[in-house]
Chain A
Amino acid sequence: MPKRFPAPKHWMRNWSATSLIVYTSLLPALGQTSSVQTEATPDLAQQELAHFEKRVTTKVLPNGLTVLLIERPEAPVFSYYTLVDAGDANDPTGQSGLAHMFEHLAFKGTDEIGTTNWPAEKVALQKVEDTYAAYDGEYRKRVGQDPAKLKQLREAFEAAKKDAQQYVIPNQFTEIAEENGATGINASTGLDSTEYFWSMPANRLELWAYMESGRLGHPVPREFYKERDVVMEERRMRTDSNPIGRMVEQFLATAYVAHPYGRPGVGWESELSQIDATEADVFHKKYYAPSNIVIAVAGDLKASTTMPVMEKYFDPIPGGPKPEPMTTVEPPQNSEKSVIIREATQPFYIEGYHRSDYLDPDDQVYDAITDILSNGRVSRLYRSLVRDQRIAAEAEGFSGFPGIKFPGLFAFYAVPLPGHTPQEMRSAIHKEIDKLKTQDVTDDELAMFKTRARVNLLRSLGDNEGLAQSLATYQLRYGDWRELFRQLDKIDRVSKADIRRVSNKVFTEGNRTYAIIETVPEHEPAASAPKAGGL
């Protein structure tokens, strides 16, 4: 069966695969509207806001947790979205991958779920930590490491894990959810934030509140080290064994010198492989404070009866201060940087320019540029590189990579057609950038951006999962879910001059980092690859 209803394609997401892309996909997608408003559309967005005012209830619980309830009684189901304002950008130095590791831990149950005997298991888990710390201390010794002692400590650690395992009821947390009809059980960790979500029949809402509050408030380091192996496999899949994954890792590491946006979210192998449960616990205490979390629930519910349930289960989580904001600010880049990868995979080109974070008043200008350059077959990069010059299979520019919370990159990429080189992609992209800097975009292009933003926002409102995600995100990022609708006004104010101004400010040579994959035959050692540019 073919795809029945047309949906926009987003190739980029296929390879940016990690959840890094969650926000970049969300915000631009919602951030696009109409000014040459087709008769019906402007009022419709206003009407929808008025309509949602009646259906959305917000409350900050005494412990600081923000709850949003969205009444949408179309079918007897609900979806929830828990958004924690901490991601892998918050991983302490030397512990890259920790936020993501914690996300995996959150599926291992609580002190009530997943154990046959918590008091005994707790003691056993402490032993696991103690023996691991002893082993790790010896393992990290650079001078005087004693192999016999190391082996002995390793055995003690293995024995402690085995002992703790006897209390485990594996996967009981997810099993309870699944038995009760949960679908789409998942979570993702980006550099900016961590999200947990699923959908369930409406009569299981209290059960869900019990489970979710349990794992947010009382996670346990169950099977931590086995799960670390699983996450190592995730790294091998997304990064090590994927040419684009390998390239993106090097690209970001080169673009950033100070800010953690330059670190892979999944973690460097050496650091990920040495994270321990004690570190995860410290991270949880600091970043999973209720004041750092927003939970949205959308579906067949009534706020009057649901809010008391939320209070009953979530308010007992002990409160704590909101973590202090990050001090690190990426210093300005003053000259072009590059990554050249020579290997036996197909050629690729990507470049990125440092931009401001999402709170910049020009945020919607970046949305406009993204839309005009990249959205569909009318976009400039498609028409120029793909349709007319026929040198690329795909070409796009997009904002907020690898995140939006801190200053990210505005990136451009192109996939060369057979016989064409990354260098051709680069000059063709630069021609399009120059056009943005020197000539105004057309009235039609600007109007199209505004119309699409407005209509696509409307399209996104008929879906519990999407609503819970959007409203939680806007509530967290702007302090008010209504910003989802209000940003349309900012979008309407974007002008041609804004686009030229921002393009001239940001798309400069000194602010650029690029990465290239150049194809060389497999058995030719990369180091001795002869040419610098030709394919």
Chain B
Amino acid sequence: MKYLVTIAVLALAHVAALPAVAQEPTQPSQQAQPWKKIPIPELPAFHPKQPRRIVLDNGAIIFLQEDHELPFVNGFIEMRGGGRDLPASKTGMVSLYGDVWRTSGTASKSGDAMDDLLEAKAAKVETDGDVDSTSVGWSCLKTDFDTVFGLTTDLLLHPKFDPGKLDLAKQQMAAGIVRRNDDVGEIASREAAKLVYGPTNPYGRTPELAGVMAITVADLEQFHEKTVIPNGMIIGVTGDFDSATMEQKLRAVFGGLKKGTPLPPAKETFNGPHPGVYSVDKTDVNQSNIWIVGLGTERSNPDYYALSVMNQVFSGGFGSRLFQNVRTRLGLAYSVGGSYGASYDHPGLFYTVAATKSASTVEATKAMLGQIDDLKTEPFTEDELRRAKDELLNSFVFRYDTPEKVLNERASLEFYGYPADFLEKYRAAIEKVTIADLERVAKKYVDRSKLAILVVGNTQQIAAGTPGQPGKPLSDLGQVHPVDITIPMPPGMQAGPSQQQP
């Protein structure tokens, strides 16, 4: 059952509930329901400790979250600016940066020497580059804190990007690129994002060999120079320490940093996919990955709460409409999921996905489309609403049941400019959602004419079927646009026979 949850969790911590399916009207149970008699005591009041927030004069923000259960100190330093702040021609650069920054090391200690020193203490210092930010983080025993934190800040302030390590990272990335068509799931998620966001949009584009090979050490240095500035920086520390002492240590390092010029806000356009049926042919598989995709929304949208509840009903978990129908009732898929996605500062992905045997591809796609349509036509019931809310609210405690989760949540809200009490308000807002809200948002946001259908599978088998299982051609779903996933090979690069796509 592993994969199912992976897919469901793509929806970002939204699990869901929904009652028995409409097709099989649940007769009032003639059975006793013994579980309803089991006492559920009041949950003890729980007020998770909030991290202490400190703002330095230069704009750096520190969060300190003490947690004395185990003798470790973990932390991160996070900078604004990532892949979306670079031109499309530099796609992949931030990922290389996040890798080479650490493997190169600093002016006084090579990355390799750092590895030896840290691993002997079972400690970690790692760097990372993402679409909107970069970071350096550490984890160590509290007795090693001074050493490990010293290395972390040395890496932050005195990195020395090494051409040899850049070459190594490029080769690694090239290996990933030439292998990217071996895994059907990977192809599907990549091409789906491309359809929705566009091939040059930072949320849709993928690194290509020629672009990756052209990245230089100077590119990385310039990016570092521009992004490592205290204004906008977020520093988070959690673990077994004393806040007053820790504050002093952090002020000593970060207090003296000079303000820099913040990056201009990233400007992207989000138009959504060109509707239609898109097909990637893979002759070595007997199962199709089906993605029905469009644009989602942002968490700042006032309808976010109603959409969250709608998500629960639609695809939140074992009890959701989608799971009930496509997996349980029809037995058409093992992994099935979906979400009207909401991101912090750009439209998320609205996706409905399933993997089904070649012969039932068209049938499963139609069932999925039917579920999407039903959001507007199949009335939400009181029972569905209650279950969805119970599901969201009763599991709410898992959003903040560890000090580290609380710290992470606060840092995310800070990073994206959301109020610190967003989580508490979320809870209250979910409670207020009504059936009328669900109907309203379903009508407003669910629009099949704006969705694209992507099928990655064995086109011939999809149409012809297999013994005992007649198939149906994809053209039954509409005009089919083949998608070429051939990997562009720059002249002079030999990768052995690559994926041959007709």
A interface vs B, CB < 8 Å? 1-8, 17-19, 34, 38-41, 44, 74-77, 103-104, 107, 112-113, 115-118, 165-166, 168-172, 174-176, 178-188, 199, 201-204, 206-207, 210-211, 223, 226-227, 229-234, 236-238, 240-244, 300, 343-347, 375-378, 386-387, 390, 393, 415-419, 444, 447-448, 451-452, 454-456, 458-459, 461-463, 519-523, 535
List residues of chain A with CB within 8 A of the CB of B69: 74, 462
Specify which of B20, B129, B175, B317 is in contact with A417 (CB 8 Å cutoff). B175
- If A165-B24, A243-B182, A386-B172 are given as contacts, then 16 extra A-B residue pairs at C-beta distance below 8 Å, sorted by A number, are A1-B415, A38-B121, A44-B71, A166-B24, A170-B24, A176-B35, A179-B387, A202-B44, A226-B331, A227-B331, A378-B116, A418-B493, A419-B495, A444-B116, A458-B141, A522-B283
B331 and A39 within 8 A (CB):
no
Q: Which residue of A lies closest to B111 (CB)?
A: A377
Known: A178-B17, A182-B395, A207-B40. A1 touches B132 (CB 8 A): yes
Question: B457: shortest Cβ distance to chain A, in Å?
Answer: 8
Residue interface mask B195-229, A partner, CB < 8 A = 1: 00000000000000000000000000000000000
Interface pair B122/A456, CB less than 8 Å apart: yes
Which B residues between 93 and 152 are near A, CB-CB below 8 angstroms? 98, 103, 111-112, 115-116, 119-122, 124-126, 128-130, 132-135, 137-139, 141, 143-144
Stretch binding the partner chain, chosen from B247-255, B257-265, B321-329, B426-434 = B321-329
Does B17 lie within 8 Å of A77, measured CB to CB?
A: no
Contact A415 B137 (CB under 8 A): no
A188 touches B2 (CB 8 A): yes
Are B397 and A237 closer than 8 Å at their CB atoms? no
Q: Does B1 contact A (CB under 8 A)?
A: yes
- State which of B268-276, B301-309, B365-373, B404-412 sits at the interface with chain A: B404-412
CB atoms of B497 and A520 under 8 A apart: yes
| Nearest residue, chain B, Cβ from A299 | B401
Q: Across the interface, do A234 and B115 meet the contact criterion of CB distance under 8 Å?
A: no
A/B interface sample: 14 pairs, CB < 8 A: A2-B129, A2-B135, A3-B126, A169-B20, A170-B329, A183-B15, A188-B1, A233-B287, A241-B285, A347-B496, A376-B115, A390-B168, A418-B171, A522-B283
Interface size class of B (residues with CB under 8 A): 35 or more
A459 to B72, CA, bound (A): 8
Which chain A residue lies CB-closest to B48?
Answer: A75
For the complex, what is the distance from the CA of A204 to the CA of B397, rounded to whole Å? Answer: 13
Q: Identify A2's interface contact among B134, B144, B334, B395, CB under 8 A.
A: B134
Known interface pairs A1-B130, A459-B70. Does A203 touch B41 (Cβ–Cβ under 8 Å)?
yes
Determine the distance from Cα of A164 to Cα of B346 in the docked complex, in whole angstroms: 48
Q: Specify which chain A residues have a CB less than 8 angstroms from the CB of B71 in the assembled complex.
A: 40, 44, 458
B38 pairs with A2, CB closer than 8 A: no
Inter-subunit contact A112/B286 (CB<8 Å): no
Contact of A523 among B19, B27, B282, B500 (CB under 8 A): B500
Q: Which 6 residue pairs spanning A and B have beta carbons closest together?
A: A181-B394, A455-B122, A6-B126, A174-B318, A241-B285, A393-B175
Known: A1-B412, A185-B317. A170 touches B38 (CB 8 A): no
Q: For B183, what are the chain A residues with a Cβ–Cβ distance below 8 Å?
A: 242-243
Could you tell me if A171 and B283 are in contact, using CB atoms closer than 8 angstroms?
Answer: no
A39, A171, A393, A447: which contacts B176 (Cβ < 8 A)? A393
A346 near B318 with CB under 8 A, answer: no
Cβ of B1 and Cβ of A186 under 8 Å apart?
A: yes
> Does B61 reach chain A (CB closer than 8 Å)?
no
Task: Decide yes or no whether B160 CB sits under 8 A from chain A.
Answer: no
Contact (Cβ within 8 A) A230 B115: no
Given the known inter-chain contacts A183-B398, A227-B331, please indicate yes or no for A346 contacting B130, CB distance below 8 A: no
Q: Find the residue from A2, A34, A244, A393 having the highest chain B CB count within 10 A.
A: A2
Q: B333–A178 contact, CB under 8 A? A: no
Q: How far is the CB of B469 from chain A (nearest CB, A)?
A: 11
Is the CB–CB distance between B137 and A3 below 8 Å?
yes
CA distance A201 to B16 in the complex (A): 16
Kindly state whether residue B335 has any CB partner on chain A within 8 Å: yes
Question: Do B120 and A170 have beta carbons less than 8 Å apart?
Answer: no
Residue B244 at the A interface, CB < 8 A?
A: no
A232, closest chain B residue (CB): B357
B75 to chain A minimum Cβ distance, whole angstroms, is 8
Q: Is B39 an interface residue (CB 8 A)?
A: yes
B477 cross-chain contacts in A, Cβ below 8 A: none
Q: Does B356 contact A (CB under 8 A)?
A: yes
- With a 10 A CB-CB cut-off, give which of B43, B111, B356, B404 has the most chain A CB atoms: B43
CB distance from A355 to the nearest CB of B (A): 25
Report the nearest B residue to A343, measured CB to CB: B284
CA distance in complex: A535, B496 (Å): 6
Mask of B290-303 contacts with A, CB within 8 angstroms, 1/0: 00000000000000
- Least CB distance from B373 to A in Å reads 21
Question: B404: which A residues are within 8 A, CB to CB?
Answer: 5
Q: Is the CB of A226 within 8 A of B334?
A: no
